[in-house]
């Protein structure tokens, strides 16, 4: 254990290796952060950034490698050890207990702030006030976490970490759920904090990397691909280093071939699990041969819209029409039958049955059709032949089509889902965060397929929070905010700033169709 020095002047990691079933998440990674430095850790999804940080937090045990603080070796068996050594982490998915107050959350993490036998929240409240004044982070100690907005929770997460006495900060994609304006504020704050404590900052947004960090380390497939000073390299250089080659994700370049409206949602009102209107009169139209992107900070009704389109959440009022057929009120089975394709948000549990074979998963929606069943009996041979063909056509990498689908990598699972949906020849396709957490190769594959679908005249609704993905693929982009479509703008006219303002709920004078 490191001595309780006042400051952490150096954090060094040497040869960290961590394996997960089937993957090598970190492969002999070494890096160093010194006093006054902000290290940006960049890399694609799945490059091993989060795994490395979870090792630094004592959440995962490394299979090999060592960590040094101020020159002396440390070993973190639990997150407690890491805290004791002065390391604090702001997680991408906030580590806050939602049904507790901010003060209770802080008390949970700090033995000295909560008292021994009697819970004393006074000390926690005082510490919260002290930290919020010092860094200008307004936080109400007695608010329940679940009542706070995403931006506020982000602030609480940071304050919480500082309350625990962090002397070194790790931030895992801290801006991923923020609007562009909130992002700017956070970056400014973090730059000020660098003077007090070194920090590691994970991101794949190169603009932020340039703005905040003075050193950058790029991870690729679990290895350090590059380390150097941020100032010496342009964003374009970094992007190339990140992926290992010049990346050119496919773009929506062919001419506007849109036909008539295929999928139309009008004045849809849907309640969330908590009972309020998550969709509050949303309307949008997707035409044949068009990709409509739906942008928005997550939690603004995307989930409920997707559920309603799948028939899994009933609409209070309003209509959903696919090629003239009214879908609201229909069962999922009927909606599928009407020609709706669907790529669900959580591929592991919504897109596939993990314990079923690849072959079974590929017939999950058609197992009772004459093609795969003779009367009540399954035609297993037909299903296997179908699987063999789709495996080839969609380049699904699996030992055999009898392998349980849950054991495949994320990219291959997504290919299984895509193969199943596209082979059914849908009229419209709803894709919910289709590339989230996938590597660049899989992302490229999926983008290509979506563009092909567009050319075949399918109406595609792409729900995503990656602005680049939306701007590259879409014909038009709709922005959802608090359950309403604030505006729908042609993709050529969309800029990050304009979309950012809309995502933050700033209504435009023109183009507002909500």
Partner 1 sequence: MNLLLVLQNILAIGVPFSVALLLAALGEMFNQRAGVFNLGCEGIMAMGAFLGFLPSFLLKGGALAPWAPAIGIACAALAGVLLGLLFGLVTVSFRAPQGIAGIGLQMLGWGTAGTLSRHFVGGVTGIPGIDAWPIPGLSKIPFLGPILFSMTPFGYFGFLMVPISWYVLFKTPWGLKVRAVGTHPRAADTMGTNVARTRYQALMLGGAMAGLAGAYLSLAQAKMFADDIVAGRGFIAVALVYFGRWHPLYILGGSLLFSIAQSFQLAIQVLGIDFPYEFAVMLPYVLVILVLAFAKNSRLRGPAELGKPYNREKRV
Partner 2 sequence: MNRTYRTLYSAAIILAAAAAAVGIGALVLMAIGVSVPETYRVILTEPFKDMYGITEILVRTVPLILVGLGIAISFRSGILNIGAEGQMQIGILAATAVALALPNLPKWLLLPLVLLAGALGGALWGSIAGLLKARLGVNEILSTVMLNYIAAQLHGFLLRGPMIDPAELQVGSGTPQSMRLPKAAWLDRILTGYRLHWGLAIALGLAVIVYFLMWRTTWGFRMRAAGAEAKAARYAGIRVESCLAAAMILAGAFAGLAGAIEVTGVHRRAIEGVSAGYGFSGIVVALFGGLHPAGIVPSAFFFGLLLIGADMTQRALSVPANMVLVLQGAVILSIVSAKTWLNDPYARDKAVRKMAALFGGGRK
Residues near partner 2, by CB under 8 A: 19-22, 63, 310, 312, 331-337, 342, 344, 346, 349-356, 360, 364-365, 367-368, 373, 376-378, 380, 407
Dihedral sign (CA 134, 135, 140, 142):
negative
The least distance separating partner 2 from the CB of residue 494, rounded to whole angstroms, comes to 30
Q: What's the DSSP call for residue 307?
A: H
Report the partner that residue 107 touches, choosing among partner 1, partner 2, none (CB closer than 5 to 8 A by kind): partner 1
Quick one: 71 or 376, whose CB is closer to partner 2? 376
Phi/psi at 207 (nearest 5 deg)?
Answer: -60, -45
Answer left, alpha or beta for residue 82, where phi above 0 means left and psi between -120 and 50 means alpha: alpha
Quick one: 404 or 505, whose CB is closer to partner 2? 404
CB 11 within 8 A of CB 73: no
**CA–CA gap between residue 314 and residue 271 (Å, rounded):** 8
Label residues 365-384 b or e (16+ Cβ within 10 Å = b): bbeeeeebbeeeeebeebbb
The least distance separating partner 1 from the CB of residue 386, rounded to whole angstroms, comes to 31
Report the partner that residue 59 touches, choosing among partner 1, partner 2, none (CB closer than 5 to 8 A by kind): partner 1
The least distance separating partner 2 from the CB of residue 180, rounded to whole angstroms, comes to 33
Q: Which two tokens stand for residue 116?
A: 């021994």
Report the partner that residue 95 touches, choosing among partner 1, partner 2, none (CB closer than 5 to 8 A by kind): partner 1
The least distance separating partner 1 from the CB of residue 355, rounded to whole angstroms, comes to 14
- Strands of the sheet containing 325-326, edge to edge, are 277-287, 261-271, 317-322, 325-326
Residues linked to residue 481 through DSSP beta bridges, in sequence order:
484
Q: Which residues bind partner 1 (CB under 8 A)?
A: 20, 51, 57, 59-61, 78-80, 83, 89, 91, 93-100, 104-105, 107-111, 114-119, 160, 164, 273
Report the partner that residue 332 touches, choosing among partner 1, partner 2, none (CB closer than 5 to 8 A by kind): partner 2
The least distance separating partner 2 from the CB of residue 212, rounded to whole angstroms, comes to 35
The least distance separating partner 2 from the CB of residue 375, rounded to whole angstroms, comes to 9
Residues 6+ apart with CB under 8 A from 333: none
Quick one: 199 or 336, whose CB is closer to partner 2? 336
Rounded to 5°, angle at Cα 47 from 408 and 451: 65
Quick one: 129 or 333, whose CB is closer to partner 2? 333
**CA–CA gap between residue 312 and residue 246 (Å, rounded):** 41
Phi/psi at 126 (nearest 5 deg)?
Answer: -60, -45
Question: What's the start-to-end Cα distance of the chain, in Å?
Answer: 57
**CA–CA gap between residue 345 and residue 465 (Å, rounded):** 12
Report the partner that residue 105 touches, choosing among partner 2, partner 1, none (CB closer than 5 to 8 A by kind): partner 1
The least distance separating partner 1 from the CB of residue 30, rounded to whole angstroms, comes to 22
Report the partner that residue 378 touches, choosing among partner 1, partner 2, none (CB closer than 5 to 8 A by kind): partner 2
Report the partner that residue 100 touches, choosing among partner 2, partner 1, none (CB closer than 5 to 8 A by kind): partner 1
């Amino acid at each position: 254990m490191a001595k309780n020095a006042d400051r952490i002047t150096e954090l060094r990691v040497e040869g960290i290796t961590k394996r997960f079933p089937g993957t090598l998440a970190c492969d002999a990674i070494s890096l160093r952060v010194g006093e006054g430095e902000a290290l940006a850790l960049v890399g694609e999804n799945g490059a091993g950034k989060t795994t490395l940080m979870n090792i630094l937090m004592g959440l995962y045990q490394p299979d090999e490698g060592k960590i040094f603080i101020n020159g002396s070796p440390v070993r973190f068996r639990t997150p407690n050890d890491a805290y004791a050594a002065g390391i604090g982490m702001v997680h991408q998915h906030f580590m806050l207990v939602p049904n507790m107050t901010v003060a209770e959350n802080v008390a949970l993490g700090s033995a000295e702030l909560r008292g021994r036998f009697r819970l004393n929240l006074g000390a926690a409240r005082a510490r919260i006030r002290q930290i919020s004044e010092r860094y200008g982070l307004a936080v109400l100690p007695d608010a329940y976490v679940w009542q706070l907005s995403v931006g506020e929770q982000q602030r609480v997460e940071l304050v919480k970490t500082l309350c625990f006495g962090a002397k070194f900060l790790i931030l895992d994609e801290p801006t991923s759920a923020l609007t562009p304006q909130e992002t700017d504020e956070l970056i400014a704050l973090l730059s000020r904090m660098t003077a007090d404590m070194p920090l590691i900052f994970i991101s794949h947004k190169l603009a932020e990397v340039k703005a905040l960090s003075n050193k950058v380390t790029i991870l690729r497939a679990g290895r350090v691909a590059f380390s150097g000073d941020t100032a010496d390299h342009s964003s374009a250089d970094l992007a190339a280093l990140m992926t290992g080659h010049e990346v050119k994700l496919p773009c929506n370049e062919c001419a506007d071939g849109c036909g008539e409206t295929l999928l139309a949602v009008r004045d849809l009102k849907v309640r969330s699990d908590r009972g309020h209107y998550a969709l509050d009169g949303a309307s949008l139209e997707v035409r044949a041969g068009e990709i409509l992107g739906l942008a928005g900070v997550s939690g603004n009704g995307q989930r409920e819209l997707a559920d309603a389109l799948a028939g899994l959440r009933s609409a209070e009022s309003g209509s959903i029409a696919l090629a003239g057929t009214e879908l609201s009120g229909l069962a999922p089975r009927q909606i599928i039958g009407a020609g709706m394709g669907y790529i669900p948000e959580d591929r592991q549990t919504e897109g596939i049955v993990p314990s079923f074979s690849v072959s079974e998963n590929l017939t999950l929606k058609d197992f009772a059709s004459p093609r795969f069943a003779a009367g009540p009996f399954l035609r297993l041979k037909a299903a296997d032949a179908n699987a063999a063909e789709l495996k080839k056509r969609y380049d699904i990498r699996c030992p055999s089509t009898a392998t349980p689908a849950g054991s495949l990598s994320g990219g291959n699972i997504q290919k299984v889902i895509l193969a199943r949906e596209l082979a059914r020849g849908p009229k419209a396709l709803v894709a919910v965060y289709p590339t989230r957490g996938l590597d660049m190769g899989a992302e490229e594959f999926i983008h290509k397929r979506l563009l092909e679908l567009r050319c075949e005249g399918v109406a595609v609704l792409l729900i995503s929070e990656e602005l680049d993905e939306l701007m590259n693929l879409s014909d038009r982009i709709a922005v959802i905010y608090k359950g309403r479509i604030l505006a729908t703008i042609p993709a050529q006219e969309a800029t990050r700033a304009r979309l950012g303002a809309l995502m933050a709920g700033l209504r435009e004078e023109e183009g507002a169709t909500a």
